[in-house]
Chain A
């Protein structure tokens, strides 16, 4: 056996390396100035993200360390989403850092940046080991961030819950990955794919029995990260307890990371076993059932919530259900619609959470009824919230509408071309039906803000970072709702990096 350092191309890894170093700079700066700099630390963190984004664009495609670091269109697209989510999460944290975590500002921002580095590593690894390490680097800072209000019982509870669930799900995922390694003899996803197919031929489908077990473990492990029912119970409690920007980051960044892992391991790695003819190996229909459960449960339970963070938690469970429709309609449009969906979801959800965070900083309340009559006293804030919620509900001409449209179109197209995929019609039907429920609870918040007799006691004045984040969200929601072509064009390269052959 030869031991050789693979060609490592560290330059291709420059965005990650830079962001990691920048996180250290942020901590050191905060310590060096004896934590007396006010918002400067936060602006420093934002600057780091912007520079990383620029470096990322100039670095472009390429690979290093074999397949362990592979900057393909999928990686690039997800990295932009991670950076955007991180930017918006940090931007909506300024009120928080002024009041509650004044002693740990630097660490707070640095941990968000560390988590972002982990997501970026994850999205560009095509190898099980580095993918797993990337996932851990994503979640471990988030455990700490969820428990960041040390004196707040709910926050500590959220941190502990997330830690236990996260550790448990990582163990399940790792167990599944070890089975994959045992069957294929390699951790390289592309090689694993080939080896599994060879083994499959050799044993005439006998591999299926152990593969079902493997797929169950992988689905459970990733399902926890995605909060896909029945692995969703942690999400509402953790979102409610953790600092609001962190809840936002969990619901977009961490979820997008989970989706990237899903696309890499399941869609790309177990591609050969996504075959309705070989019924025992067909994991697609299983994921379809989970997606249906997510849409129904998320949307129905969200109606009964009185806390807006819990409502958004259930709504994000439902949104993952819609995303999974695109994932299991196994065609090119499906994969690019998934990417577009997350992109649109990022703007709308981060925007909605930014409004909630801002409102919470000023008033200390997360109850929906506190928003009563807000439209008269703070018209811009209410209008922004209404737009974000309508985009989440999927109302044209906002980006959320097109996202849902593409996902459903992909499913219908696949169901139409292949008779074995007829169950996708059911999925689309459930999706359309539950969208109505979704509209109900989103509209309920809008009704509370706009159409109520009593006046709001709060008169809120924007702060610069919060306004920036909300404006970014608004621009994204409107711009990509009216003009989705550039994003869809970019996203249409993604199926190729998941092993789809495009004609």
Chain B
């Protein structure tokens, strides 16, 4: 019963993801595209929860649905006249791009399925996903975690330099 419920939820999510992703690249109004992008990313977070990857789901919602989407919407609103205009979403290379992406997708799926070597998982789900990641970040992976803060600082300084208006 639960199994069936889970797969129903999966198919609903998959349907939403595909339809909204298509809407992102086909709609004529860029603001609508942005809204569908949010829906798409949110549904992907749902898939992560179904895979018991709670941390990934939370990060997805916080970063993509929260920060990135807000940024996109602000960019659209601040760019003059962009929100109302009808935009052209594709050019003459669309078909080629489609086939290249399709090839990459098919190759990846085939290769992953053919490879039986993902044997380093113990087969048991870790009970406290987020707690484990948090503890690892503060112990074993302390160094990269700290270096990220240096990275953030450098990015922040860079952003200020580029965005600030120079006085003559």
Query: How far does the Cβ of A319 sit from chain B's closest Cβ, in whole Å?
Result: 28
Look across to chain A and name the residue whose beta carbon is closest to the beta carbon of B135: A3
Q: Given A68-B144, A133-B151, A137-B151, verify A107-B161 contact (CB < 8 Å).
A: yes
B117 touches A121 (CB 8 A): no
- The CA-CA distance from A27 to B157 in the complex, in Å, is 9
Q: A57 an interface residue at 8 Å Cβ cutoff?
A: no
Q: Given A203-B116, A206-B117, verify A140-B144 contact (CB < 8 Å).
A: no
Q: Given A111-B154, A140-B158, verify A185-B120 contact (CB < 8 Å).
A: yes
Q: A66 an interface residue at 8 Å Cβ cutoff?
A: yes
Query: How far does the Cβ of A136 sit from chain B's closest Cβ, in whole Å?
Result: 6
Q: A143 an interface residue at 8 Å Cβ cutoff?
A: yes
B111 touches A140 (CB 8 A): no
Q: Given A111-B154, A207-B117, verify A129-B141 contact (CB < 8 Å).
A: yes
B139 touches A213 (CB 8 A): no
Q: Give the segment of A144-152, A281-289, A385-393 that binds chain B.
A: A144-152
Q: Given A3-B136, A114-B150, A199-B117, verify A144-B142 contact (CB < 8 Å).
A: no
Those of A84-111 within 8 Å (CB) of chain B = 103-104, 107-108, 110-111
Q: Given A6-B139, A65-B143, A140-B151, verify A183-B111 contact (CB < 8 Å).
A: no
Interface size on A, residues (CB 8 A): 54
Query: How far does the Cβ of B59 sit from chain A's closest Cβ, in whole Å?
Result: 14
Those of A65-94 within 8 Å (CB) of chain B = 65-66, 68-69
Determine the interface band of chain B, counting residues with CB < 8 A from chain A: 35 or more
Specify which chain A residues have a CB less than 8 angstroms from the CB of B160 in the assembled complex. 107
> Contacting B157 at CB < 8 Å: which of A66, A69, A107?
A107
B154 touches A209 (CB 8 A): no
Give me the interface of A with B, judged by CB distance under 8 Å. 1, 3-6, 8, 20, 27, 64-66, 68-69, 103-104, 107-108, 110-111, 114-115, 117-118, 121, 127, 129-130, 133-134, 136-137, 140-141, 143-144, 147-148, 150, 159, 182-186, 195, 199, 202-203, 206-207, 209-210, 212-213
Would you mind naming 8 contact pairs between A and B with Cβ atoms under 8 Å apart?
A103-B166, A118-B150, A133-B147, A137-B151, A144-B159, A184-B120, A199-B117, A210-B114
The 9 A-B residue pairs whose C-beta atoms are closest, nearest first, are A185-B120, A144-B158, A210-B115, A114-B154, A65-B143, A130-B144, A3-B139, A3-B135, A133-B144
